[in-house]
Structure 1
Amino acid sequence: MIPKYRTQFNEEFSQEKYQKVNELIKEKTGYEAGFRISESPIFLSNEFWQKLDDASQSIISQIKKMSDEELSKAIPTNCNVPNDTKKPHFVAIDFGICQDENGNVIPQLIELQAFPSLFGFQKLFEEVITEVYPFLNELKNSLPNDEYIQKLKQVIVGNENPENVILLEIYPEKQKTAIDFVLTEQYLGIKTVCLTKIKKQGKKLFYESDGKLVSIHRIYNRVIFDELDKIEGLETEFDFREDIDVEWITHPNWFFKISKYILPKLKHEFVPKSYFLPDFPETEQLENFVLKPLFSFAGSGVNLNPTQEIINKIEDKEKYILQRKVTYAPLFEDINGEFSKAEIRLLFAWNSEEENPELLVNLVRMTKAAMVNVDFNKKDAIWIGSSMAFFEK
């Protein structure tokens, strides 16, 4: 897609340059990424961008029209957190890059979530990849670093002192995304704090810094709330469901409200048909659909080839959807003449004072496997892993 840039990148590529990208990332952060970084970005046409933009703006518009009552039905009773907000602070929309029956390249919605992603890392990755491959600067149309960081700061820190804002995660140093936490600290001046280290006094929360307690006014939340019950031996001083004096960025309830739960409610030519499992009509063929749990992360629990026997064994059917299968197109040629598939995640930040969220950056995941998850790839494959898209101007 944009053969000119694909040819140029492949001609300029070398393992030494790939190593340089990884070295620069470690040099600038002190960390290595806990996930595989693809050797290559992808290059997408302006025509494809228009399709992406049309689909994502339609989806956002439809979400805004959904009532709070309708969206709140998505929140499991045992996961409802007090002091909800009128809108989320982040929206991530994932599209598979596919082809229609006429060979036209089209996006197909895979899933979406009101949860932050690699806002810190993706900006650094763009900086590093363009440093190693300078010709990419002619395609770069993102915000300058200072402006980008300022917009993130407006959403996450707001008018608070950064000292009173934390990035919250469970055992952050063990997470694959730890490098993103480090960059968020650098960009915003906030601390990353483990859930187990939070102190609670009445309705107020604190963390310890240099031997003294610092009050927490805002939480940039990176904890997947419904995962907490699965962690053995977890001891904390406060429960998410408690009424506490803190502002959530973004509120945990939105993780459920904007999720696979709303896929059956969305309509657009680039949104594959989805059904809640109990509503799956007899007129549809099961082999044309993928079975997905409503609330899961990184592809866990997804069944690409569900059978009636598998479905019959599911007790909580209301917690699953069936989504029409999407075939990713092998469009991205590597240096060996083999092709990778990809999906693109559009990362929006939503300033509470603005009518609509703003697209800040994108994240691409490349694969040669059936699922777009690096864990499913062969160890010696190339052109796989985390990357980003550059669009023609």
Structure 2
Amino acid sequence: MIPDQRQNFNQQFTEEKYQNFLTDLQEGYPEIPFRVAETPIFIPKDLKEKLIAAGEEIIKLIKQPNFKALTENAIPKNWNVPNENEQPHFLTFDFGICKNNAGALTPMLIEMQGFPSLYGFQTHLAKTFKKNYNIDNSLNYFLNGFDEDKYIELFKEVIIGQHQPHEVALMDVDARNQKTAIDFFVTQKMLGIKILALEDIKKIGKQLFYEEDGKQIQLKRIYNRLIFDEVADNTDIFKNSFDPREELDVEWVTHPNWFYRISKYTMPFLKSEFVPETRFLNEVTSIPADLENYVLKPLFSFAGMGVIIDVSETDIKNIADPENWILQRKVSYEPVVQSPDGGVKAEIRMMYLWPDDGEPQLCLNLARLSRGKMIGVRYNADFDWVGGTVGFMEQ
């Protein structure tokens, strides 16, 4: 998207360099099970400014006094966790890179989450790109005036809060074997916190503990990476540990309810040039005549699961719970990244940290490249120049 930067990168690229880059990226860490793309994305200043403006519009909605009332039905009744705080600690907004009617590049919102992303790994990924390729110093993967020191300082404030690192843990079902475990290990190295599987944590009264060197250590704050959708059919897993839905003497980063509040459920409330027309399916009074231009998405799913791309009237009529689905106008990605053999589609995730009693701060980004019908690993398994990457933005 910045022609001279793209040309410079492609001219220096070799398969050998790419393999050396991957070796560097994984050094000292377990093997990365997801595909990392061959290239970063070079984002021009005007597109960066549109991405920032789009994010600010969404945050304006989230900060409305009635936002919790608007999104109360987003939380499944059997997964509502007590003691919800007043704000999420993370905001991530995914934008497809498209062209507007004037032919200019523009972001279009695809997904949004009040849930953490790869806040550790993305800094490691960007630094490894810079180490292995001649990337111009006029470009930056950080945003909003952040550099590495300032970013780590804020990241510590958000994750650790007023506690000591040993009183805080990153938690997932089987954390060390998750697909995104590389992010967990980078975060541990960066912040000094524990990585705990659910079963490593035991409940005594309302307090949570883990064992280290034969001692019981109280867990005062959880960096939560557990997605309830992944355990909804296996709640027996809580019997050997604790049930997050119980009254607990622990702080959540971020509280699990925000996963639902800031999600596809929020999109019908947004009216913006950067947001495709989105309606709850139960509020659609007449099926659009141009149904081929729409996509049907379940509210409570992740990683693209359950999405119906080529929608038919029969698909809509067969939905038994239309209140849990959205009908959204399709977004047409522009193949903006030039690979050696053609254009590749791109998606940019803008990543914010929101400290307790503070303001949301845009810090860095994540990017994904795709040649498939959708962004995501399962849709791009047989392609190169696809996968996870990072945006270097013109300052």
Q: TM-score range by the shorter chain?
A: over 0.9
**Amino acid of the residue matched to residue 300 of structure 1?**
M
Asked if 1:133 is matched to 2:138, the reply is no
* Equivalent residue number for residue 355 of structure 2: 351
Asked whether the equivalents of residues 141 and 364 of structure 2 are also in contact (C-alpha less than 8 Å), the reply is: no
1:169–1:195 CA contact under 8 A, matched in 2: yes
Letter in 1 for 2:295: V
Residues 296 and 136 (structure 1), Cα distance of their counterparts in 2 relative to 1, 3 Å cut: farther
Distance 1:151 1:31 in 2: 26
Contact 1:264 1:276 in 2 (8 A): yes
1:49 paired to 2:52: no
Deviation of 1:313 (Å): 1.8
1:377-388 equivalences in 2 (<5 Å): 377-379=380-382, 381-388=383-390
What RMSD, in angstroms, separates the aligned Cα atoms of the two structures? 1.4
More displaced 10-residue stretch of structure 1: 68-77 or 39-48: 68-77
Structure 1 position 89 matched with structure 2 position 86: no
Kindly state the Cα deviation for residue 273 of structure 1 after the two structures are TM-superposed.
Answer: 0.7
The one-letter code of the counterpart of 2:4 is K
1:163 aligns with 2:171: no
Alignment-derived partner of residue 250 in structure 1: 254
Out of 277, 292, 307, the position equivalent to 2:281 is 277
1:141 deviation in Å? 5.6
Among all aligned residue pairs of Structure 1 and Structure 2, give the percentage whose two residues are the same amino acid. 45
* Long gaps (5+) in structure 2: none
In the alignment, which residue of structure 1 is the partner of 2:296?
291
Q: Which amino acid aligns with 2:31?
A: E
Shift of 1:26: 1.5
Q: Which amino acid aligns with 1:186?
A: K
Using the TM superposition, name which of 92-101 and 137-146 deviates more.
137-146
Amino acid at match of 2:357: E
1:239 matched to 2:243? The reply is: yes
Range 179-188 or range 369-378, more displaced: 369-378
What is the CA deviation profile of residues 119-141 of structure 1, one whole-angstrom value per residue up to 9, with x for unaligned ones?
Answer: 00000001100011133333126
Query: Does the CA contact (< 8 Å) of 2:25 and 2:125 recur in 1?
Result: yes
Equivalent residues in 2 for 1:199-238 (5 A)? 199-231=202-234, 234=237, 235-238=239-242
- In structure 1, the residue matched to 2:340 is 335
> Residues 118 and 141 from structure 1, CA distance in 2 versus in 1: closer, same or farther, beyond 3 angstroms?
closer
Do the aligned residues in 2 keep the contact of 1:34 with 1:178 (CA within 8 Å)? no
* Partner SS, residue 223 of structure 1: coil
Alpha-carbon distance change, 374 to 226 in structure 1, aligned in 2, over 3 angstroms = closer
Structure-2-length-normalised TM-score:
0.95
2:300 counterpart SS class: coil
Deviations 1:7-29 (A, max 9, x none): 000001111111121111121x4
Aligned to 1:5: 5
CA offsets, 1:190-225, max 9 Å, x none?
111111221010000011112221100000000002
Residue 376 of structure 2 corresponds to: 373
Instruction: Give the partner amino acid of 2:324.
Output: K
Q: Which amino acid aligns with 1:70?
A: L
| Alignment equivalent of 1:259, drawn from 257, 263, 274 | 263
Does the Cα contact within 8 Å between 1:75 and 1:253 map onto a contact in 2?
Answer: yes
Equivalent residue letter for 1:299: G
Please name the residue that 2:98 is paired with.
98
Letter in 2 for 1:289: Y
Equivalence for 1:302: 307
In 2, the alpha carbon distance for the partners of 1:171 and 1:334 equals: 36
Gapped regions of structure 1 (runs ≥ 5) = none
* Deviation of 1:237 (Å): 2.8
Shift of 1:111: 1.2
Cα deviation, 1:225-267, whole Å, max 9, x if unaligned, reads 2321224862433111100000000000000101111100011
| Maintained 8 Å contact 1:34/1:175 | no
Alpha-carbon distance in structure 1 between the residues aligned to 2:240 and 2:326: 33
- Amino acid paired to 2:331: V
Paired position in structure 1 for 2:392: 390
Q: Distance in 1 between matches of 2:234 and 2:287?
A: 41
The answer (yes or no) to whether the contact 2:61–2:67 under 8 Å persists in 1 is: no
Q: In structure 1, how many angstroms separate the alpha carbons of the residues matched to 2:136 and 2:213?
A: 43
What is the distance in 1 between the residues matched to 2:191 and 2:153? 9
Question: Taking structure 1 as the reference length, what is the TM-score of the superposition?
Answer: 0.96
Structure 2 SS opposite 1:18: helix
Q: Which amino acid aligns with 1:36?
A: R
Matches of 1:33 and 1:121, distance apart in 2: 11
Q: SS of the counterpart of 2:106? A: strand
Counterpart Cα distance in 2 of 1:135 and 1:63: 36
Alignment partners' CA distance in 1, 2:44 and 2:74 = 36
Q: Conserved in 2, the CA contact under 8 Å of 1:205 and 1:246?
A: yes
- Judge which range, 238-247 or 226-235, deviates more: 226-235
CA contact (8 A) 2:287 2:313 kept: no
- 1:305 aligned partner, one-letter code: D
Contact 1:46/1:392 (8 A) holds in 2? yes
Offset at 1:71?
2.0
